[in-house]
Amino acid sequence: MTLFDEIGGFETLKRINKAFYDKVYAHPWLGQYFKLLPREQIEKQQADFIAQAIGGPDNYRGKAVISAHLHIFITEELFQIRESLLQAAFQETGAPAALIEKWNKIDQAFKPALISRSVAECSPRFPGDGILSFSAPEKTSAIK
Ligand code: HEM
């Protein structure tokens, strides 16, 4: 029995992804990176990607993860925001511990390759393609 079967297959992955992308799309900074992308597509790609990594069907037809992010400026801070939203989605949906452990390991393994120190480290996917980069919205302070 694979981890995919043990955790309840696509049903479970879909439930977690729904909760996760609700938070991602609603986030004032991270959400900007996703707003032009159809949610069904991104949720399906993500579910297929994780499914394949935990012994599920080989459905993933997206790009290799690193190539898919070369044009995206991802800072350490932004990466951590994404991770904390993911942990919140795990808690909210009662995700199985074994899945949480594996999923976090995958994300951490890709982290050094996905993070850049400056926009100059990013590269367009094709000539004329833009770099996806947004600054953090201004933090509002209670003390003015
Ligand atoms: C803050 C961190 C991240 C940001 C801002 C981000 C953003 C994005 C965006 C905007 C896309 C759509 C790209 C496009 O086709 O136009 C994408 C695709 C994708 N991301 Fe991320 N991502 C992050 C971290 C991660 C991590 C840690 C993983 C998993 C290891 C991951 C896995 C994927 C996958 C599998 C796709 C689909 C690629 C495809 O369809 O070809 N991402 N990401």
- 72, β-bridge pairs: 132
Reported as a pLDDT band with limits 50, 70 and 90, residue 138 is confident
Q: Whose CA is nearest to atom 18 of ligand 1?
A: 68
pLDDT in tens, 27-52: 999 999 999 999 999 999 999 999 99
Q: Is residue 3 packed enough to be buried (19+ CB in 10 Å), middle (13-18) or exposed (0-12)?
A: middle
Among 59, 42, 43, which residue's Cα sits nearest to residue 4? Answer: 59
- Across residues 75-91, what is the average pLDDT? 98
Quickly name the fold that domain 3-121 has.
Answer: Globin-like (1.10.490)
Q: Which residue type does 134 have?
A: F
Whether 15 and 33 have beta carbons less than 8 Å apart is answered as no
Q: Is the minimum distance from the CB of 105 to ligand 1 under 6 angstroms?
A: no
CA atoms of 16 and 125, how far apart (whole Å): 29
Calculate the alpha carbon distances from 142 to 135, 137, 139 in Å. 21, 16, 10
Annotated binding site for heme: 69
What's the whole-number average pLDDT of the chain? Answer: 95
pLDDT at position 140 over 80: no
User: Ligand 1 pocket: which of 65, 70, 105, 134 to mutate (most atoms <8 Å of CB)?
Assistant: 65
Reported as a pLDDT band with limits 50, 70 and 90, residue 142 is low
pLDDT at 18: 97
> Who has greater pLDDT, 57 or 140?
57
- Across residues 93-114, what is the average pLDDT? 98
Count CB neighbours of 33 within 10 A.
Answer: 19
